[in-house]
Structure 1
Amino acid sequence: MAMNQNAIHTLNMSRIEWLQERTKGLGGSDAGVVLGLNKYKTAFELWLEKTGQVEPQEIDSEAIYWGNEMENVVAKEFEKRTGKKVRRANFMFSHPNFPFIKANVDRMVVGESAVLECKTASAYLSKEWEGDEIPATYLVQVQHYLGVTGKEKAYIAVLIGGNRFVWKEIERDEELINMIFEAEKHFWTYHVEQNIPPELDGSSAAEQYLKEKYAMAEKDKEIVLPSEVKDLIEQYEQIKKDADLIKKAKTEIENKIKSELKEAEKGIVDSFIVTWKNQTQQRVDSKALKEKFPDIYQQVLKETSFRKFQIKEAK
């Protein structure tokens, strides 16, 4: 399926210019976040980035270097294993009808209507790649690319644990592409352009957002909360009880394992390594400092202000 493309040449772009261009829309790696499939970033965190309220988290130059190097390794190995040829795209593509939907494709496959996405994965995640399996966030990423570029298929190649290479073919799925684009259009036009936050989640970014937005409470101000807050409070109390049970269960298991380790610092079973090591920390004894050096103690005191959240039942 051919599709007209709007594209920006990226070959001579600096890293900063490339990152700035990315903030103007949603790329393939954002698709899984918008759909709630990404384990490492939430839609709320993405909204903060795209509205310029926080700087996008950028990895250091060393990580960028090795990321590019491993992308090259994976692409070259794909060529060896398949006999296909690939080339860099050197363009940031945009959907012709929705310019905020963008695509930064790793490689184009020569002589085919296809793209190649290159990945590396930890050995601990190898089960996610067994058989025909592809992590959901990567599947929507490549379908996003197919939707933007108009290509018919994608290949995804991954180096797992540094010593296992896997590649898979992914056919264009029009229904999934439409679903992805509908979610992205809603996210961009409703949340980003109108600056309306997505539903708050449990991320530290959401917590920080509320902390900064409502830093100071109006003394003695009291409001009647909407009735649905009672359901949230009941959920909150139940989760607290469950958390206590989980903590006890976790401690019980830890104790049983520790009793097997005894004086050993390390234990091995199957593919798991368990350690119970001695560690030493040095901390200021504030009580002793206050008693022995009261003047110095007063000089180093630091006042902090915060809003304490608490739920208790009225009597």
Structure 2
Amino acid sequence: MKTKPKSNAGQLEMGHLLEPIAAHFFAQKTGSLVTDDTHLYQHADFPYALANFDRRYTRKEDGEPGILECKSCTYHKAADWQDGAYPIYYELQLRYYLAVADIEYGAFSTIWGNNPDVDIATPAIIRDREKENMIFERLDEWIWSLRKDKPPSMADVTPKLALESLARIYGASQKDLPTIEFPKKYEKPLRRIAELQGENAALQAQIKKNEEAMEAHSVRIAELMKDHEHGVLETTRDKLLVDFVTKTTRRVSSDYLKRTHPDIYQDALKPSESRKVKVFIQPA
């Protein structure tokens, strides 16, 4: 059977090509010795658990071995890696590798630009047996479902994570497929989705109306505050505390990025796929 091409094949190829670069700057930044490892490993207690690693490294501070995962992302995903953070799905992947290799230390090297001084994150993790046990409990359930030919249940998975997982499993929607007819048992949840959509639309309209009213009341207040940050109005029953504080936010200027770094700008424009269930009620 012919394998269906992946919608992000180019992105996957780019990530693979960038692995040596991420590994190189991890070694430069941390002082650790990075080595290639092309072997396939098997967990000592779970025969189904196989793994191959992007790289291995030897920690500069104590000579202990570690597993290095090399990643790359676009600028708009760089915030996921700020201040030592890392996406949970990558954390689970690396903890799984630490368990298979029976190693205590792991690290990421994630790059997203062409300046290795600022466009790289190298957060490290230490092996956590409790999280590891949770991972292998779920893997055991999954392997059991495969052997029994029973699809794994999403019953105990948070809805947001379940939807993200299903989107990854099934990929993009196909326009040429026929319309699905739902069994009657789905009428209640479908109607509830439609009701909640309507409630959200009404709430959004009310929020917009409230925002406009608050802005109208705020004009005179702002005139009185001028360049002051705080104000107060004392009454017989309480105090009304007023803040009018300047907050600075930094956002990427798309015009500047397009003008000075057109290649990066085009990369940042790559479409991201998402799917959301919507229900419309059509009278009979």
Q: Is the 8 A contact 1:191 1:198 kept in 2?
A: no
Identify the residue that residue 88 of structure 1 maps to in structure 2. 36
Q: Does 1 or 2 have the higher relative contact order (CA < 8 Å, sep 6+)?
A: 1
Residue 59 to residue 233, structure 1, CA distance change in 2 (3 Å)? closer
Pairs aligned (count): 204
Matched-pair identity in %: 24
The answer for the alignment partner of 1:75 in structure 2 is: 23
Q: Deviations over 1:216-264 (max 9, x none)?
A: 89xxxxx7x44x85254223322244257659989xx9xxxxxxxxxxx
* Separation in 2, partners of 1:72, 1:207: 30
Mapping of 1:203-282 within 5 angstroms? 205=170, 225-226=184-185, 229-243=187-201, 271-273=251-253
Query: Aligned AA for 2:15?
Result: G
Q: In the superposition, relative to structure 1, how do residues 139 and 207 fare at CA in structure 2: closer, same or farther (>3 Å)?
A: closer
Cα deviation for residue 90 of structure 1 reads 0.5
Instruction: Kindly state the Cα deviation for residue 215 of structure 1 after the two structures are TM-superposed.
Output: 5.9
* TM-score where L is the length of structure 1: 0.51
8 A contact 2:108–2:124 mirrored in 1: yes
User: Equivalences for 1:44-83 in 2 at 5 Å?
Assistant: 55=4, 57=6, 59-60=8-9, 63=11, 66-83=14-31
Structure 1 residue 177, shift from structure 2 partner:
0.8
Q: Does 1:174 align with 2:94?
A: no
Tell me the equivalent position of 1:132: 84
**Alpha-carbon shift at residue 75 of structure 1 (Å):** 0.7
- Judge conservation of contact 1:153–1:172 (CA < 8 Å) in 2: yes
Which AA in structure 2 matches 1:235? I
How big is the shift at 1:71?
A: 0.8
> CA separation in 2, counterparts of 1:232 and 1:135?
32
**1:149 paired to 2:120:** no
Cα–Cα, structure 1 residues 171 and 270, in superposed 2: closer, same or farther, change >3 Å? closer
The alpha-carbon deviation at position 178 of structure 1 amounts to: 0.8
Q: Deviations over 1:257-302 (max 9, x none)?
A: xxxxxxxxxxxx9535579xxxxxxxxxxxxxxxxxxxxxxxxxxx
Q: The residue matched to 1:155 in structure 2 has which SS?
A: strand
The CA deviation at 1:101 is 2.4
Confirm or deny: 8 A CA contact 2:141 2:152 kept in the other structure.
no
For residue 151 of structure 2, the aligned residue among 196, 218, 222 is 196
Which residue does 1:26 correspond to in 2?
A: none
Inter-partner Cα distance in structure 2 for 1:132 and 1:230: 44
1:99 and 2:47 correspond: yes
CA distance in 1, matches of 2:56, 2:21: 16
Q: 2:91 is aligned with what amino acid?
A: L
Contact 2:68 2:106 in 1 (8 A): yes
- Tell me the alpha carbon deviations over residues 22-54 of structure 1, each in whole angstroms, 9 at most, x when there is no partner: xxxxxxxxxxxxxxxxxxxxxxxxxxxxxx997
After superposition, the Cα gap between the structure-2 partners of 1:270 and 1:117, relative to the gap in structure 1 and judged at 3 Å, is: closer
TM-score normalised by L of structure 2: 0.56
Change beyond 3 A, Cα 1:100–1:208: farther
Post-superposition shift, 1:80? 1.6
Secondary structure of 1:116's match? Answer: strand
Structure 1: gaps of 5 or more residues: 1-51, 218-222, 254-268, 276-308
- Equivalent residues in 2 for 1:30-41 (5 A)? none
Q: 2:72 aligns with which of 108, 120, 141?
A: 120
